[in-house]
A and B are shown apart, each in its own frame.
Chain A
Amino acid sequence: MSDATGPDTFDGPTPDNALRQAKKTSGPMLAADGTPLKKSLSRALRRQKMRALMLIAPLLLFVLVTFIAPIADMLFRSVENQIVSETLPLTTEELGNWDGQGMPPEAAFEAAYYDIFLAAERKQHTRLGTRLNYELTGASSLFRKSGRGLDDIGEVYQDQFEDLDENWDEALPWLELMGDPDWLAEQQEWAADEDGRQPRFELRDGIEEILPTTAREFAAFARFQQVEDQKNLLEEEPWSAVHTALYTDLAAGDMSSYSGPRADMLQAADALVASPEFETVSFLDGFEEIDEDWMEPPIWQTIKLYSPNYTSGYFLNSVDMQLTPEGAEARPDNERIYMLLFKRTLFMSMVITFSCILLGYPVAYILSNLPMRSANLLMILVLLPFWTSLLVRTSAWKVMLQQQGVINDVLVWIGLVADDSRLTMINNQFGTIVAMTHILLPFMILPMYSVMSTIPPSYVRAAKSLGATNWTTFWRVYFPQSIPGIGAGSILVFILSIGYYITPEIVGGTTGTFISNRIAYHISSSLNWGLAAALGTILLAVVLILYWAYDRIVGIDNVKLG
């Protein structure tokens, strides 16, 4: 046995030599191969960690992709609100300069005309209507009507230009006027056999200065036809929004100096617009024609209020408040419901947890103290409900508890209750608590049982032999050791019941429903997923806070599942 400080016996890289070397140079301790020991150790450790990570990687990935990501995506909807600014880009920009008082300027109507026209072509205006209808009643039909009605404005101009010159309703003259000549040549080449990709439409140089609105609208039209509808641009006559834009540009500018393609056509149109016979419609009148609601501030205020990409509106809604131009505000009394439901859900979940403890504790105690054979038999009885459909169990409670049900019949038969004053035990809180306690009971009994069966019976015998009464033995010796089981069972039952949905729906009536019933309604019926996500996020936060509090008070280390 050689000591590192002893005389040399071997040359070469032995651990002893390495240590000696390290001492001599008083530098970092080196591994056998000469690298610093620290580095070499951490490298080995890192490799080990990587290997472990690789082993769990499939599971980690699976959980991330199928569990965390969808939940995060769903919860993210509670603040998402891009739909307004994406569908109405010009309008939201225009309304950004408006102070929100009275009516917005006419420019906002003009922007809304172009936005909604395009949205209607893409069939997105009704989606936006549905979205805004959550905030302002009537928005749904307003947008549906407007999608149809806006054509009336544009057709006034379209018809007049067409009467002047048929070319205004043809695809090619428009393309010559608006499009880049090189692009047009490419497009015509492509159109010959429609093979490959359609060349992307390009505006002609300088046209944007002469006809700014028309250029914008024509480009939007071209993009829609080419990209979304996959149509050959050479065969599509422009829609009426382009004619409207042309009128706006001609009314604002003078075309006499224009000398590009189709100059005579444009100048004739300019002359027509300048002539007193030319019929015009103001955007204001056009919108008023569609629906009077456009003439009231609320719809404009709502659009302005919800134009940011992210909104706190859903969260405010889920705590019975609402977003108004003046800031967050409580909802009127007759529309408040969510806070009530949150409180009720928490309260009833606690009641259910406590009734599960009360009923489950003796059962678990008996189970753990019986001989194996009979304990197993009883265990099957506890597990039996797990093998029955949840709906069957819940419906069975209906049969038991309803006014013409088994319990009431028995009570009337015994004479405890008069026939005309049968007890109401279902479609209320009582019914929900009873049915859910029954359904969740196994989740309480099983952890309790597994903890209790590990408590050595000798402790109880020792306590008794030292003179403790039965009660003292139980309370001072047995019960403290069973607490981890109660803790585990309570967490399971409480968290399960807080998100329970089907049982309260069936037996809860109106006073026994939970917040999850409203979440389900918004997911499947009203399609207000943003609000559902906000409610779900709050529920998740409440559970996490309670879990944290539970950890502080009881200590999560004290929880045992077995």
Chain B
Amino acid sequence: MKLTKTLMASTALTVAAGAVAAQDMADSMTLVSWGGAYQASQDNAYAKPYAEMHPEVSIAWDESSNEAVAKLRAMNEAGNITWDLVDVVAADAMRLCDEGLAMEYDPDDLLAEAPDGTSAEDDFGDMIVSDCFIPQIVYSTTVGYRTDLVGDTAPTDICAIFDLEAYPGKRSLEKRPINNMEWALYCDGVAKDEIYDVLETPEGQDQALAKLDTIKDNVVWWSAGADTPQLLADGEVVMGSTYNGRLFSVIEEQDQPVGMLWDMQVFDLDGWIIPTGLPEDRLARVKDFVKFATDTQRLADQAKYISYGPARQSSAPLVGQHEELGIDMAPHMPTDPENAANTLLYNYEFWADYRDDIDAKFQAWLAQ
């Protein structure tokens, strides 16, 4: 009798607690991402399955990740945060965290464990580069080239960018110092593990700019990720840097005569941040979504739609085939051991410090 009572009471309590929890969650969510194929992959892998499980939730996308940092700051100053979850690159996440615009979180509390019970913190490992950053994917900036314009010997290493004799013609590079300075020093003979020590000094910065100077007249500078694929497709450039997912789509989906280099690809991370100052019901909803969207299976699912590597170690073995093309996606992941023979990891700490300074020099050099 007593036991039944206790059981009944506790059941009632749990039901009540469950009902309260569901009520406490907002029923709409605004997610911010980059638009295009990347956002579509997130929609397919995370948002649609989540909406199926929770039909009461309406999910809206906002394609503002490009200017997310500035917009979040403006929203914060106005005291009206309209976004619930924002997709940004790790460097921006760090900046937002420093500015107090992104919420710090506890990985083991917010994120799901791996299927084998590994804690989220260990499963994500070094990918959590900032206290506010919830990693999703690893992507890389690397170089694609026109197979029909490079002659008989296709380039195999990054320094082909600086080799105007073997590969004459224009090349496209991103209009910012990050990545370009590292590649310039590497190709100027600086050892890989000394690049940032050299780049710290004014002489090292001059050295990198001097190396870039040798090809300056042959560079088309891009600022949007779509530029290099377009320039390659038009034959405007012989080779150019862009994100590996863009090259995958040019090569595999659009079937252009383009090849790609994995040598000295620069790894970078992209992930979510939760803005600070969300009301409790919206925060509860976002936390619920994030737990789902960053679990092992969901991250692996995303790779079906785009060739970016999942940020969880436990997701890697689950990466399957492309949803439409049916090709194996694993060899197209930047993190695949074959591709990752010689890589560089974006140095977040370094660029957080030196971005303003080196960018000023870089832009002054460009404008001359």
Interface residues of A (CB under 8 A from B): 123-124, 126-127, 129-130, 133-134, 137-141, 144, 334-337, 340-341, 402-405, 427, 505, 509-511, 513, 518, 523-529
Asked if B70 is at the interface (CB within 8 A of a chain A CB), the reply is yes
Contact B354 A334 (CB under 8 A): no
Contact partners of B104 in chain A: CB under 8 A: 123
Contact B356 A141 (CB under 8 A): no
Contact partners of B66 in chain A: CB under 8 A: 524
Tell me whether A510 and B100 are in contact in the complex, defined as CB-CB below 8 angstroms, given that A137-B357, A402-B234, A528-B356 are known contacts: no
Contact B98 A341 (CB under 8 A): no
Asked if B363 is at the interface (CB within 8 A of a chain A CB), the reply is yes
Contact partners of A525 in chain B: CB under 8 A: 69-70
- A sample of 4 more A-B contacts (CB under 8 A), given A524-B69, A526-B359, is A126-B100, A127-B99, A144-B352, A510-B366
Asked if B95 is at the interface (CB within 8 A of a chain A CB), the reply is yes
Contact partners of A513 in chain B: CB under 8 A: 367
CB nearest neighbor in A for B365: A334
Asked if B289 is at the interface (CB within 8 A of a chain A CB), the reply is no
Contact B235 A527 (CB under 8 A): no
Contact A527 B95 (CB under 8 A): yes
Interface residue count for B (Cβ, 8 Å)? Answer: 35
The interface centre, meaning the residue of B98, B234, B357, B359 with most chain A CB atoms within 10 A of its CB, is B98
User: In the assembled complex, how far is the CB of residue A451 from the closest CB belonging to chain B, in whole angstroms?
Assistant: 39
Tell me whether A427 and B73 are in contact in the complex, defined as CB-CB below 8 angstroms, given that A334-B364, A341-B367, A518-B363 are known contacts: no
User: In the assembled complex, how far is the CB of residue B216 from the closest CB belonging to chain A, in whole angstroms?
Assistant: 9
Contact partners of B361 in chain A: CB under 8 A: 334-335
Within 8 A of A (CB), among B64-84: 66-67, 69-70, 73
Asked if B221 is at the interface (CB within 8 A of a chain A CB), the reply is yes
Contact A505 B223 (CB under 8 A): yes
CB nearest neighbor in A for B366: A510
Asked if B355 is at the interface (CB within 8 A of a chain A CB), the reply is yes
Contact A526 B352 (CB under 8 A): no
Compute how far the CA of A559 lies from the CA of B131 in the bound complex, rounded to whole angstroms. Answer: 59
Contact A427 B221 (CB under 8 A): yes
Contact B236 A137 (CB under 8 A): no
Per CB-CB distance, the 8 closest pairs between chain A and chain B, nearest first, are A126-B98, A524-B70, A137-B357, A337-B364, A510-B366, A524-B67, A141-B353, A404-B235
Compute how far the CA of A144 lies from the CA of B206 in the bound complex, rounded to whole angstroms. Answer: 28
Compute how far the CA of A126 lies from the CA of B94 in the bound complex, rounded to whole angstroms. Answer: 10
CB nearest neighbor in A for B172: A427
User: In the assembled complex, how far is the CB of residue A523 from the closest CB belonging to chain B, in whole angstroms?
Assistant: 6
Asked if B25 is at the interface (CB within 8 A of a chain A CB), the reply is no
Tell me whether A337 and B367 are in contact in the complex, defined as CB-CB below 8 angstroms, given that A127-B99, A505-B223 are known contacts: yes
Contact A337 B363 (CB under 8 A): yes
Contact B98 A144 (CB under 8 A): yes
Within 8 A of A (CB), among B227-244: 234-236
User: In the assembled complex, how far is the CB of residue A378 from the closest CB belonging to chain B, in whole angstroms?
Assistant: 34
Our pick among A130, A336, A402, A405 for the contact of B364 (Cβ within 8 Å) is A336
Asked if B220 is at the interface (CB within 8 A of a chain A CB), the reply is yes
Q: Which secondary structure dominates where chain B touches chain A?
A: helix
Asked if B349 is at the interface (CB within 8 A of a chain A CB), the reply is yes
User: In the assembled complex, how far is the CB of residue B268 from the closest CB belonging to chain A, in whole angstroms?
Assistant: 16
Contact partners of B365 in chain A: CB under 8 A: 334
User: In the assembled complex, how far is the CB of residue B246 from the closest CB belonging to chain A, in whole angstroms?
Assistant: 17
Compute how far the CA of A405 lies from the CA of B231 in the bound complex, rounded to whole angstroms. Answer: 11
Compute how far the CA of A437 lies from the CA of B70 in the bound complex, rounded to whole angstroms. Answer: 31
**What are 8 A-to-B residue pairs whose CB atoms are below 8 Å?**
A126-B98, A137-B353, A141-B352, A144-B98, A334-B365, A341-B367, A525-B70, A527-B95
User: In the assembled complex, how far is the CB of residue A536 from the closest CB belonging to chain B, in whole angstroms?
Assistant: 14
Tell me whether A138 and B363 are in contact in the complex, defined as CB-CB below 8 angstroms, given that A402-B234, A404-B235, A524-B67 are known contacts: no
Contact B73 A527 (CB under 8 A): yes
Our pick among B69, B97, B100, B363 for the contact of A527 (Cβ within 8 Å) is B69
CB nearest neighbor in B for A130: B98
Contact B349 A141 (CB under 8 A): yes
CB nearest neighbor in B for A124: B100
Compute how far the CA of A129 lies from the CA of B356 in the bound complex, rounded to whole angstroms. Answer: 13
Contact partners of B170 in chain A: CB under 8 A: 403
Asked if B15 is at the interface (CB within 8 A of a chain A CB), the reply is no
Contact partners of A139 in chain B: CB under 8 A: 353
Compute how far the CA of A360 lies from the CA of B235 in the bound complex, rounded to whole angstroms. Answer: 35
Compute how far the CA of A402 lies from the CA of B170 in the bound complex, rounded to whole angstroms. Answer: 12
Contact partners of B191 in chain A: CB under 8 A: none
Contact partners of A335 in chain B: CB under 8 A: 360-361, 364
Contact B221 A140 (CB under 8 A): no
Our pick among A127, A133, A505, A523 for the contact of B100 (Cβ within 8 Å) is A127
Contact partners of B100 in chain A: CB under 8 A: 123-124, 126-127
Contact B349 A509 (CB under 8 A): no
Contact partners of A337 in chain B: CB under 8 A: 360, 363-364, 367
Contact partners of A509 in chain B: CB under 8 A: 220-221
Compute how far the CA of A511 lies from the CA of B365 in the bound complex, rounded to whole angstroms. Answer: 11
0/1 interface trace, chain B 88-120, chain A, CB 8 Å (1 if under): 000000010111100010000000000000000
Contact partners of A341 in chain B: CB under 8 A: 367
Contact B356 A133 (CB under 8 A): yes
Compute how far the CA of A137 lies from the CA of B223 in the bound complex, rounded to whole angstroms. Answer: 25
Our pick among B95, B236, B355, B363 for the contact of A403 (Cβ within 8 Å) is B236
User: In the assembled complex, how far is the CB of residue B203 from the closest CB belonging to chain A, in whole angstroms?
Assistant: 12
Contact partners of A334 in chain B: CB under 8 A: 206, 361, 364-365
Contact B356 A134 (CB under 8 A): yes
Contact partners of B95 in chain A: CB under 8 A: 130, 527
User: In the assembled complex, how far is the CB of residue A504 from the closest CB belonging to chain B, in whole angstroms?
Assistant: 11
Compute how far the CA of A286 lies from the CA of B16 in the bound complex, rounded to whole angstroms. Answer: 53
CB nearest neighbor in B for A398: B230
CB nearest neighbor in A for B100: A123
Compute how far the CA of A509 lies from the CA of B66 in the bound complex, rounded to whole angstroms. Answer: 20
Compute how far the CA of A529 lies from the CA of B359 in the bound complex, rounded to whole angstroms. Answer: 16
Contact partners of A340 in chain B: CB under 8 A: 367
Contact partners of B355 in chain A: CB under 8 A: 526
Contact partners of A529 in chain B: CB under 8 A: 73
Compute how far the CA of A427 lies from the CA of B365 in the bound complex, rounded to whole angstroms. Answer: 16
Compute how far the CA of A518 lies from the CA of B352 in the bound complex, rounded to whole angstroms. Answer: 19
Contact partners of B175 in chain A: CB under 8 A: 510
CB nearest neighbor in B for A125: B98
Within 8 A of A (CB), among B315-368: 349, 352-357, 359-361, 363-367
